[in-house]
Amino acid sequence: MESNYSFNVTELEAPRTPYGDHHENFLIKDVSKKEIAEYRVKEFCTKFLRPAIPKEEREEKKKTDFAMNFCRYYTVFRKLGERQYEYFVIKPSTH
CB 6 within 8 Å of CB 32: yes
CB 26 within 8 Å of CB 50: yes
CB 92 within 8 Å of CB 69: yes
Q: Which domains does the chain have, with CATH numbers?
A: 7-91 (3.30.70)
H/E element, 53: strand 53-54
Please name the residues in contact with 7: beta carbons below 8 A apart, sequence gap of 6 or more.
28, 29, 30, 31, 32, 41, 44
**pLDDT score at 1:** 56
pTM for the complete prediction?
0.88
pLDDT digits (tens, 9 = 90+) for 16-53: 778 888 899 999 999 999 999 999 999 999 999 999 99
